[in-house]
Amino acid sequence: MICLFLSIFSYFLQTALTGVSERTFIAVKPDGVQRKLVGEITHRFEKKGFKLVALKLVQASEDLLKEHYWDLRSKPFFTELVSYMNSGPIVAMVWEGLDVVKTARKMLGETNPADSLPGTIRGDYCVEVGRNVIHGSDSVLSAQREISLWFRHNELHCWEDSSSRWIY
């Protein structure tokens, strides 16, 4: 109990000192896992200076995927999307940092890889919109919702990143 309190206190203290309180949900989709892009994608977020606070390899249930993509339920591709996301393991991650949601979206590139610039994840590794390797939250609010869907509170780790004083 004391460890949990200290961990939470440390997180809030760091937030107060650095102004860093934003988190985002990133998922390497089944095609990205199969193509062995997890390390490259993780490396890009680490090089940018973001802090990894949660990571797990999961075979997502259909129910979880339907809840995750709830806002797309009326789209004609919804069933196919859920099936694709259920076709193999997903690497679910939570990253923390200043403006991490906005910056991560830029790092991912456009949903349609044909519209993505070279240097973005989708611009470098994707060809087809139906196999676009990665998901990232599109707002702080959706990040909070997605993180709570994919991770229990005790799976989010508050730890002191010794490089943060060199970044912020």
Return the active site residues.
Answer: 135
For residue 9, say whether it is annotated as part of any ligand binding site.
no
For residue 132, say whether it is annotated as part of any ligand binding site.
yes
Residue 137 burial (C-beta neighbours within 10 Å; 0-12, 13-18, 19+): buried
Nearest alpha carbon to residue 42 among 127, 149, 129, 134: 134
The 8-class DSSP code of residue 114 comes to G
Nearest alpha carbon to residue 138 among 130, 150, 129, 146: 146
In single-letter form, the type of residue at position 62 comes to: E
For residue 5, say whether it is annotated as part of any ligand binding site.
no
Query: Residues near 42 by Cβ (< 8 Å), separated by ≥ 6?
Result: 52, 55, 93
In single-letter form, the type of residue at position 139 comes to: S
How many angstroms separate the Cα of 127 from the Cα of each of 28, 43, 88, 154?
Answer: 16, 21, 19, 37
For residue 154, say whether it is annotated as part of any ligand binding site.
no
For residue 122, say whether it is annotated as part of any ligand binding site.
yes
Known binding-site residue numbers for ATP: 29, 77, 105, 111, 122, 132
Task: Detail the residues annotated as belonging to a binding site.
Answer: 29, 77, 105, 111, 122, 132
